[in-house]
Amino acid sequence: AGVVNPVPNPRPTITNVTSTAPNGKFTVGQVIPINITFSENVFVNCTPQLVLETGALDAVVNFSSGSGTNTLTFNYKVGLTDATADLDYLSRTALNLNNGTIEDADGNNAVLTLPTPGTTGSLSANKAIEIPAFNIIAGTNRRDNLTGTNLSDRLIGEQGNDILTGGGGADEFVYKRIQDRADTITDFQPGIDKIVMTNLLASFNYSGSNPIADGIISFSSRGRNTVLLLDPDGADGSALARSYITFRNVSVADLNNPNNNNFVFS
């Protein structure tokens, strides 16, 4: 009788790339989970990386979770200068082992070839995730007077009692630390401009989803202006809420209207 050679086990292959994030626009500090699905369960050693096409500087995203399952997750945090009309990875070879391994239970190394960007099974084909481009206007740790353009600008005052004017366009005012307090925004447009606080809230380990409801952020009317107050330990803590941003000629009702989507918290 002839000898029957066993059929070698096939190597795991990538079948799909998508995200659990909703379609829409994302901005600096927000996290977008990217899920790579294989044809079978795979096991990860070390920290593979996924390279995303994000404009002038491509984002390199470390593996986050999923070893032992058929789906690996890479949590991409949007960077300050990132921009793309439809988020996708850089190329078919954008998944890198980074001196590690991805293999199945039998020790077969996975094939790391991704679907061609823009085609069936790719991230951009499955999702419509936009990261709008902004002119970056950054201040210093001293008092600054920053003025935007008629386009969409991203203003970062940093520390110091800054005067910020967005100008035309849909602008973002970015806050990263508690020490960035005491700014005045002269021309905030409710429903158009946004206050981005993702990094600020992360800086004192806030883990909730609504810092207004949790008493972290509150508002006070000062004549025609509105002051945003920040209380890092919330209404039940011992610290007092302190003035953080003054909005000229903006009412509390317009600033705190959830339909205006004035804030980015996560």
Instruction: Please write the tens of the pLDDT for every residue from 195-241.
Output: 999 999 999 999 999 999 999 999 999 999 999 999 998 877 888 89
- Number of neighbours of residue 25 by Cβ within 10 angstroms: 13
Parallel/antiparallel/unpaired status of strands 183-185 and 88-89? unpaired
Instruction: Please write the tens of the pLDDT for every residue from 24-43.
Output: 999 999 999 999 999 999 99
- pLDDT value of residue 3: 60
Please give the CATH number for the structural domain made up of 135-264. 2.150.10.10
Average confidence score pLDDT of the chain? 95
Of the pLDDT bands very low, low, confident and very high (cuts 50, 70, 90), residue 171 is very high
Length of the chain: 266
Give the mean pLDDT of 179-188: 97
Domain boundaries of the chain, sorted by first residue: 14-130, 135-264
- pLDDT value of residue 239: 82
Domains 14-130 and 135-264 share a fold: no
Topology annotation, domain 14-130: Immunoglobulin-like (2.60.40)
Contact 48, 153 (CB under 8 A): no
Q: To the nearest whole percent, how much of the chain has pLDDT over 90?
A: 93
Instruction: Please write the tens of the pLDDT for every residue from 112-123.
Output: 999 999 999 999
State yes or no: pLDDT of 49 exceeds 90. Answer: yes
Instruction: Please write the tens of the pLDDT for every residue from 72-95.
Output: 999 999 999 999 999 999 999 999
